[in-house]
Amino acid sequence: NAGVTQTPKFQVLKTGQSMTLQCAQDMNHNSMYWYRQDPGMGLRLIYYSASEGTTDKGEVPNGYNVSRLNKREFSLRLESAAPSQTSVYFCASSDLTGGGYTFGSGTRLTVV
């Protein structure tokens, strides 16, 4: 019963370094999402993929890129990390509109 799996769970980067956050779901969901969570700001949508082969910007896409590799996998890339990208990142997936999301356990990223 894996659900949504995110890797890594923790990461420390230096300013300017790049990295990719991985996300995979085993529920055959069509849609996948990347959110960031910051204190007092709730969850903000970075990018989403409504279906395999499509991606769209969310509320805070600057500094990020995504790839929907296949139906199961949706990765988030930071090309040149900045301290403002220090956050907890959550991947989620869903099937039908109105059904809610299933979330991964998160990646805690610190950029120094």
Partner 1 sequence: AQSVTQLGSHVSVSEGALVLLRCNYSSSVPPYLFWYVQYPNQGLQLLLKYTSAATLVKGINGFEAEFKKSETSFHLTKPSAHMSDAAEYFCAVTTYSSASKIIFGSGTRLSIRP
Q: How far is the CB of 45 from partner 1 (least distance, A)?
A: 6
**Token digits of residue 21:** 């956050």
35 vs 74 by CB, closer to partner 1? 35
- Count Cβ atoms below 10 Å from residue 17 Cβ, excluding itself: 14
Q: How far is the CB of 93 from partner 1 (least distance, A)?
A: 10
Looking at residue 56, the DSSP 8-state letter turns out to be E
| Distance in angstroms (rounded) separating the CA atoms of residues 84 and 12 | 13
Residues that bind partner 1 (CB under 8 A): 4, 31, 33, 35, 40-45, 48, 50, 56, 58, 90, 92, 94, 96-106
